[in-house]
Amino acid sequence: MTPADCDLRDFPFIPLDIQRLFSSEFHARSSDAEFRAGFTLWCKSFHQVPAGSLPDDDISLTRLSELGRDVKGWKKLREGALYGWIKCSDGRWYHPVVVEKALEAWNGKKAQRARTAKARVQALLTRLSQAKDSFDAASIEASIQTLLESMSQLLSQNEFRSVELSVTESLTEAKRKREGKGNGEGKGKPSNTFPDGKGADAPPDAASMTKDELWAAGKSLLAQSGMPAKQCGTFVGALVKDYSAEVVIDAVRAAVLERPADPAAYLKAACQHSAGQRGRPNKQEALEARNRAIAERLAQEES
């Protein structure tokens, strides 16, 4: 009767409709002990997950009703204390009135989280327009995408589509401005080759490449391995978010020199090495990976 993820454990109080409670059948029919135990279960159910529910277990219900270990005493009160509760398909008990109050609080909580997420997205879009370089922009864009994913669970479908469209337009405009600036600064450098102008087959002088040039080289490597163009920037951006721009710059510089068969795996491994999570991928590993990829491709072509 409430969503499975309805969690109100951070709510310190439960809304109480006084007139409704004291004019209810529950109040009229229950004994003092039943009312005390039942009302305690109302309050305790608000902090169960899903909110407004109770487990179908006498030991748990004994403790939740503040009867300690007196399971025998609980069983004497059970019928009256659970007056109005309904057992649902998930095996838990739900009370319609408590559920009603829980849903009101849950919807309010989701609305507040959505407002906070919208404000954070706007702040990130402002930062994006002032991004220092492509790595900084990629990190910000990855954060925006994460927020959008969370907002998809908080907003109605129509409202989310409206927000998503607005954010996408802002991201596209920011990207257009960055690319326009980059084209002005890098005259004659084709976007589908490495920034040294010698083409994809000639490794550039990675040591002297700028951040933006390394960014373009990294995307070029990923695109040549078969990764969709739209995902290349997102992939590098996610690495920047997880490992920092400096770590990813070093990883891309190494990948440009090594030319691995699987650039995505190589970049991830290099970043993990810098973070102390694994050993650095070497040239022999890259060569073996390239050979395996060629062999697999030839086998597929023969079949």
Do 31 and 61 sit in the same domain of this protein? yes
Torsion of CA 259, 264, 270, 273, to 10 degrees: -150
Q: Are residues 83 and 63 in the same domain?
A: yes
Phi/psi at 244 (nearest 5 deg)? 90, 155
- Is the pTM here over 0.75, yes or no? no
Find the helix or strand (DSSP H, E) in which 87 lies. strand 86-87
pLDDT tens digits along 252-275: 877 777 777 788 888 888 888 877
What is the mean pLDDT of the segment spanning 39-62? Answer: 94
How would you label 44-66 residue by residue, b for 16+ Cβ within 10 Å and e otherwise? bbbebebbbbbeeeeeebbbbbe
Residues 139 and 77 in one domain: no
The answer to the question of residue 6 being in a domain is no
> Is 78 found in the same domain as 27?
yes
Single out the residue in 185, 219, 249 at which a domain terminates: 185
Could you report the per-residue pLDDT of 126-139, keeping only the tens digit for each? 888 777 777 777 77
Burial class of 186 by CB neighbour count within 10 A (0 to 12, 13 to 18, 19+) = middle
Domain annotation covers residue 84: yes
In the chain, % of residues over pLDDT 70: 78
Is a pLDDT exceeding 60 seen at residue 164? yes
First and final C-alpha spacing in the chain: 54
Burial class (CB in 10 A: 0-12, 13-18, 19+), 281: buried
Do 52 and 32 lie in one domain? The reply is yes
Residues 6+ apart with CB under 8 A from 175: 137
Structural domain harbouring 27: 18-102
CATH of the domain at 49: 1.10.10
| Residue 301: band (very low, low, confident or very high) from pLDDT cuts 50, 70, 90 | low
The confidence score (pLDDT) of residue 83 equals: 94
Tell whether the torsion through CA atoms of 87, 88, 90 and 95 is positive or negative: negative
Asked whether residue 219 falls in the same domain as residue 278, the answer is yes
pLDDT of the residue at 159: 80
Residues 214 and 298 in one domain: yes
Q: Which helix (H) or strand (E) holds 183?
A: helix 157-185
Question: Is position 162 within any domain?
Answer: yes
Which of 185, 215, 247 is the last residue before a domain boundary? 185
**Res 117: pLDDT:** 84
Return the SS3 of 54: strand
Give me the pLDDT at residue 192, please.
Answer: 42
Q: Is residue 192 part of a domain?
A: no
Same domain, 211 and 172: no
pLDDT confidence bin for 72, thresholds 50/70/90: very high
121 and 73 in a single domain? The answer is no
Let me know if residue 199 belongs to a domain: no
If one counts the domains in the chain, the total is 3
- In this prediction, residue 139 carries a pLDDT of 75
Please indicate, yes or no, if residue 4 is contained in any of the structural domains: no
Regarding whether 133 and 91 lie in a shared domain, the answer is: no
Shared-domain flag, residues 172 and 221: no
5 within domain boundaries: no
Residue 196 lies in a domain: no
pLDDT at 201: 42
Q: Write down the pLDDT at residue 197.
A: 41
Task: For residues 83 and 116, state if they share a domain.
Answer: no
Q: How confident is the model at residue 66 (pLDDT cuts 50, 70, 90)?
A: very high
Residue 220 clears pLDDT 70, i.e. is over it:
yes
